[in-house]
Structure 1
Amino acid sequence: MFTSLIRYIQERSTIPLSETDISLIEEAFIPKKLRKRQFLLQEGEVCKYIAFIVKGSTRQYTVDEKGYEHVLNLCIENWWTADRESFHKELPSIYNIDAWEETELLLLPKANGYYDRVNNIPAFHEMRIKLDDNQHIAAQKRLNTSINYTADYRYEELSKLHPEFLQRFPQHIIASYLGITKETLSRIRRQSAKK
């Protein structure tokens, strides 16, 4: 289970991991399996872990007063998931994170100083900074796209950037992620199939 995490860190860092670093990572991260629809985090809880997805997929979402789900993030293998605000500020989360498939995770807890100790590993720290930068850029692009572009364009961009999402998540989740209705998504997909 740790092989994919170690490879992930090494591929995203110019600094090699030492044997001591690898031992600390294996000591700090906790393996966890989730069934489909099982929660990693529920609204109102404080997020206690940063999770690396080894296998499977998750979604991060809110539920409004009418009971509608609004998907903020979709995550698959070799992605990270957490409510970072809740994790770092120790505030109750406004999000739910659940597994959309049978999912295997490696959880990095804040408790016992593990997060700080792992973050002090030079290779992990370098990887995290790159990851934070990339996540910030992706969030800006997504926000800009949702404000300035049509539903058709948003769907086309998603199909280019993350075609695997269209295979692994059902239409109602994709529609929510794009900020459109299921009916609009159905129309776009029909038109796209005719091209």
Structure 2
Amino acid sequence: MYEPLFEYIQRYSNEPLTNEEKEIVKSAFELKKLRKRQYFLEEGKVCTHTGFVFKGAFRQFSVDESGIEHILQLAIENWWVVDRESFLNQTPSKYFIEAWEDSLLLVFPINKLDEILRIPAINTMFWQMSQNNHIASQKRVEDTITLNPIKRYENFQRHYPEIVQRFPQHQIASYLGIARETLSRARKPIR
């Protein structure tokens, strides 16, 4: 059950875990099952856990004053779900994190963070994840500013085809910040 997580750690750290370190990871993480539409985190609550998606799909979103959802993240297997600000600062979240499919996560609580960061491979992995997240966020902002909506969708589809297949069109449009109708035009084959 922990093998995908161990492989992920090694891939992002380039360091194998020792058997002792694997036992520390196993004692820090626990399996959590969520049904489709069940929340991992609700707005206004403090994010006390971070989760590695073992199986399933999630969306992180906020709801504005008009009741419109704005999707911040879509996640599938081998991705992490967390509201970083709420988790690290232990403050109420502005977001919901919802299972879009029946899902399994390996989760660990904030009070285990220091313990697992003492493992060199995990420390390196978290640093690399942070760097990758920053670069991806920067790229997303740049794409939003410089690319037309159809080009944004084409880039997203090229880089994340599995997500395009697993989430409905209106959620992908929300994530990309484009109108649903524009996304419908982008998805039609050109003749």
Tell me whether the two structures share a fold, i.e. TM-score over 0.5: yes
Instruction: Show the counterpart of 2:30.
Output: 30
- In 1: Cα distance, 2:74 partner to 2:96 partner: 12
Aligned ranges 1:1-195 → 2 under 5 Å: 1-111=1-111, 114-190=112-188, 193-195=189-191
Q: How much has 1:16 moved relative to structure 2? A: 2.2
Q: How much has 1:89 moved relative to structure 2? A: 0.5
- In 1: Cα distance, 2:37 partner to 2:138 partner: 29
- In 1: Cα distance, 2:116 partner to 2:56 partner: 24
Aligned-residue sequence identity (percent) comes to 48
Q: How much has 1:20 moved relative to structure 2? A: 1.2
**SS across alignment from 1:93:** coil
The runs of 5 or more residues in structure 1 that have no matched partner are: none
- In 2: Cα distance, 1:189 partner to 1:123 partner: 41
CA offsets 1:109-135 (integer angstroms, 9 cap, x no match): 013xx1110011001111111111111
CA offsets 1:95-117 (integer angstroms, 9 cap, x no match): 00001111110111013xx1110
**SS across alignment from 1:194:** coil
Q: Give the structure-1-normalised TM-score.
A: 0.95
Q: How much has 1:86 moved relative to structure 2? A: 0.3
Amino acid at match of 1:6: F
Q: How much has 1:15 moved relative to structure 2? A: 2.5
**SS across alignment from 2:37:** coil
Runs of 4+ deviating beyond 3 Å: none
CA offsets 1:73-101 (integer angstroms, 9 cap, x no match): 00110011100000011110000000111
- In 2: Cα distance, 1:103 partner to 1:160 partner: 25
Q: How much has 1:182 moved relative to structure 2? A: 1.2
- In 2: Cα distance, 1:171 partner to 1:14 partner: 36
Q: How much has 1:194 moved relative to structure 2? A: 2.1
- In 2: Cα distance, 1:186 partner to 1:14 partner: 41
- In 2: Cα distance, 1:90 partner to 1:77 partner: 26
**How many residues of Structure 1 are paired with residues of Structure 2 in the alignment?**
191
Q: Give the structure-2-normalised TM-score.
A: 0.97
